[in-house]
Amino acid sequence: MSTDDQRPDGPAAPRTRAELRAAREAEAAAASRSSSEDGGADRDETPPAARPTGGARPVRSTFVPPDADSTTTFAAHSSADYVPPAPSTTDYTPPAPEKPKPAKAPKPAKTPKPAKVPKPEKAPRPEKPAASRDSRFLLALGAVLGILVLVGAGLGVVSLTQGPRITEVQVDPAEAIETSGSRVILTANQSLAAIDESQVTVEPAVPFTLDAAGRGIGIRFTVPLDDDTEYTVNVADAVGAGGGPSATLSTSFSTPPSTIFLLRRDADGNDQIFRTDLTGEKAQAVFAADKINDFRATSSQLVVSVEEEEGSKLLVMRRDGTDQRELELPGVGYVGAIQVSERGGLVGYSYSDKELSDTEGRASVLVTQSLSGDDEPVVTEVGGKEANIFVWQFVPDSAAVLFIDFDGALSLVDRSSDAGVQSLGLATTIQGISRGTYTAIVERLDGSVVELNLADGSEVPLEASTPDYGSAITITPFPGGTLRHVVSRDENGLPIGQAIVRVDDEGAATPLVEVDSTDSILQACASPSGQYAAVVIAPELADNPYDQMLLPLPENLETHLLDLRTGDEIVALTGFDASWCQTAPQF
């Protein structure tokens, strides 16, 4: 026996790093085979998350190799737990040292991953975060409310120190020069104490009524306003409903220049309605037809009677001639004496059937209907029978009709109510009805001319003018006076001239237009406010033949426009039937 065999065991020879790595790989492979043979099934049944985390698992330590040049860290079992691998009879051959790769352990069978537990930092925070957001919202809301309170308080302080102010003004100047009853509505920044009419002034002066409540002040003009004029409305000593300092509420607006519509007939059959300014330089045709018998104008519409072979047609259109539509008539016949009620939205006319005899047909019945065409024509009745009407007029600013029938009975009927016909005695003619006063000028059977109050039936004689120009053929009222058509005669009673005289409310008379016996005055009308007058004259009457229309008139007619305040003539225009007039001229 060799002495080497009896030598005591010395320390193991040191291994190289490659040998150590190969040994570890062999150990890992053996452990892997052992696990797959003995306990693989158990491992597969237990998910990795369920493995015990106690001391049964080897504790790993960090191995630092002696070679200081290497920076690779290896994980190794502690020397206490290390067991050298047992020799194996299998054909297993460890991997070559040149390419050391750790053997891959067989992957356990895939099992459904357990539901991920939300990380604590991502879990919805309980009450504290919500409370924080609510607190921030409440703080922001409080800040906004605080600002609003401060602004409101500031405005309140301003109101208390400055008094009421106007925040809005509503007015339609174009309508105000066309019709009575237009309004200026002032809206204040606060509710106001009671306002009296004595606190309100309008310059230039014009009659008005007052309606004030809350923050609103409504001033209603009872007559149309002048054109091309600046108006100023003042409300003095206006005080808030809760007290405080007073203030004067003031506003101004300007009315536009006037325009007028005239009818020009043509013997060749090209009749036209044209619109012009008061200089006559901007005349523009708005409607044309072969035979235009009559027309009337509202602030927004034209109503035209057209004569055709089978009878009359009644058309409604805009003021520029567009959007034409035909109104239904009571039958096939003829229409004349057209009038309109701006406030009532009505058109009225005299109607006669085309087929007329002593026993059949209607003659000169008064018909009213809506301008919209939404209703059927209504024939005026007295005592349950259709009345034959001699003369009639709409009452301005209402839907009432004043008429005289063939028996001379003067009656009033209001189309806006069911009050029926009101009898006002006997009369021979209706001269005119004043705007805004509900007063008519009528001639009684005895020849006296009276001012009749249509509200209560009372009447007073019409005062003679100074100087006295005698009895008038026609009397046309306007705001501030009347226009009177008078005839001068020689000692034998023969006419030698005609004139239009302006008579103011005090009775003072001023001649405006005078013609001799060769000419004839057909009609005189005032503009809605009484600012201007339109006088229709037929010149050279002996050489001025009549046309062949339902309303026959001389072919050559002139309309003279005058300033009623100064008496000066503005312009003379070809045509007649001025839109300022309530009715067509009669000759």
pLDDT digits (tens, 9 = 90+) for 192-201: 999 999 999 9
Mean pLDDT of 233-258: 95
Between strands 459-461 and 449-453, the pairing is antiparallel
Q: What is the pLDDT of residue 147?
A: 80
pLDDT per position as a tens digit, 316-336: 999 999 999 999 999 999 999
CA dihedral sign of residues 300, 502, 337, 346: positive
Distances (CA, A) of 189 to 164, 183, 239, 391: 6, 20, 11, 52
Q: How many angstroms from the chain centroid is the CA of residue 330?
A: 36
Which residues are CB-contacts of 267 (< 8 A; sequence separation ≥ 6)? Answer: 547, 555
Lowest mean pLDDT among 31-40, 73-82, 258-267, 519-528: 73-82
DSSP string, 243-274: ----EEEEEEEEPPPPEEEEEE--TTS-EEEE
Mean pLDDT of 401-428: 92
For residues 190 and 241, the answer to whether their CB atoms sit within 8 Å is yes
Written as six digits, the tokens of 557 are 């007619």
Q: What is the pLDDT of residue 19?
A: 65
DSSP string, 509-521: EEEEEEEETTSEE
pLDDT at residue 408 tops 90: yes
CA dihedral sign of residues 381, 383, 385, 390: negative
For residues 513 and 562, the answer to whether their CB atoms sit within 8 Å is yes
Residue 57 phi, psi (nearest 5): -80, 135
Radius of gyration in angstroms for the set of CA atoms belonging to the chain, rounded to a whole number: 54
b/e 386-399 (16+ beta carbons within 10 angstroms → b): ebbbbbbbbbbbbb
- Between 536 and 77, residue with greater pLDDT: 536
Q: What is the pLDDT of residue 247?
A: 94
What is the distance between the alpha carbons of residues 402 and 412, in angstroms, rounded to a whole number?
5
Mean pLDDT of 95-101: 47
Largest Cα–Cα distance in the chain?
Answer: 194
pLDDT at residue 268 tops 90: no
State the average pLDDT for the chain: 82
The band of 177, judged by pLDDT with boundaries at 50, 70 and 90, is very high
Written as six digits, the tokens of 383 are 């005592």
What is the distance between the alpha carbons of residues 415 and 344, in angstroms, rounded to a whole number?
8
The band of 305, judged by pLDDT with boundaries at 50, 70 and 90, is very high
pLDDT at residue 162 tops 80: no
- Between 385 and 119, residue with greater pLDDT: 385
pLDDT per position as a tens digit, 364-388: 999 999 999 888 999 999 988 999 9
- Between 507 and 418, residue with greater pLDDT: 507
- Between 335 and 16, residue with greater pLDDT: 335
pTM of the shown model: 0.71
Q: What is the pLDDT of residue 140?
A: 77
For residues 287 and 302, the answer to whether their CB atoms sit within 8 Å is yes
Lowest mean pLDDT among 88-97, 229-238, 429-438, 539-548: 88-97
What is the distance between the alpha carbons of residues 307 and 486, in angstroms, rounded to a whole number?
33
Written as six digits, the tokens of 213 are 């409540």
Q: What is the pLDDT of residue 78?
A: 40
The residues pairing with 278 across neighbouring beta strands, listed in sequence order, are: none
Q: What is the pLDDT of residue 83?
A: 41
Q: What is the pLDDT of residue 142?
A: 75
Domains in the chain, please, with CATH? 16-42+60-100 (no CATH), 166-254 (2.60.40.1220), 465-587 (no CATH)
Mean pLDDT of 534-551: 92
Q: Which H or E run contains 162?
A: helix 127-162
For residues 189 and 170, the answer to whether their CB atoms sit within 8 Å is no
Q: What is the pLDDT of residue 30?
A: 65
What is the distance between the alpha carbons of residues 387 and 421, in angstroms, rounded to a whole number?
11
Q: How many angstroms from the chain centroid is the CA of residue 98?
A: 96
pLDDT per position as a tens digit, 28-45: 666 655 544 444 444 444
